[in-house]
Amino acid sequence: MLRSDTKPWSSIAGRLAEQVPAFASSRILVVLLFSATVFVQPVAATPGGLECQPPESLMPLINLLDSLGELAFLAGVSIGTIGFLFAGISLMVPGEDWNRRGKKVAKNVFIGVILLLSANMIVSYLITQMGGTIC
């Protein structure tokens, strides 16, 4: 009889032990991303940075790469919007499987959008820490 009384508690504790690390790790990730965004941005911005001028022969290539970068950024934001739309629809459809899928998609899309939006800041920070300049 003692064994049957402890079994529900052990299953609840087991479920709680499985959920706590996932919640704690996602919370730590959000805190790290927020602190990196808030505290690193002023360091990455160099208003009085070194002046550099690329050669005129490379300007078409630099303009093409800049255009491709902007296009890739817009495509990423569009894919993120479609991902959030799919996650929202999945959450509204009845059924546990759809609900689980919607939560998983929303979490992954959120992480992807945060990485996409912070990519420029991360690259600028790394370049300034290595001593280079961004033209």
Backbone Cα Rg of the chain: 23
Model pTM score: 0.54
| Averaged pLDDT of the chain | 75
Number of separate domains in the chain: 2
Does residue 51 form part of some domain?
A: no
Q: What is the dihedral of CA 100, 103, 106, 107, to 10 degrees?
A: -110
Residues 90 and 125 in one domain: yes
- DSSP for 50-83 reads ------GGGHHHHHHHHHHHHHHHHHHHHHHHHH
Residues 39 and 89 in one domain: no
Residues 41 and 69 in one domain: no
Parent domain of 36: 1-45
Q: What is the tens place of the pLDDT at every residue in 56-80?
A: 888 899 899 889 989 999 999 999 9
Does residue 52 form part of some domain?
A: no
Does residue 50 form part of some domain?
A: no
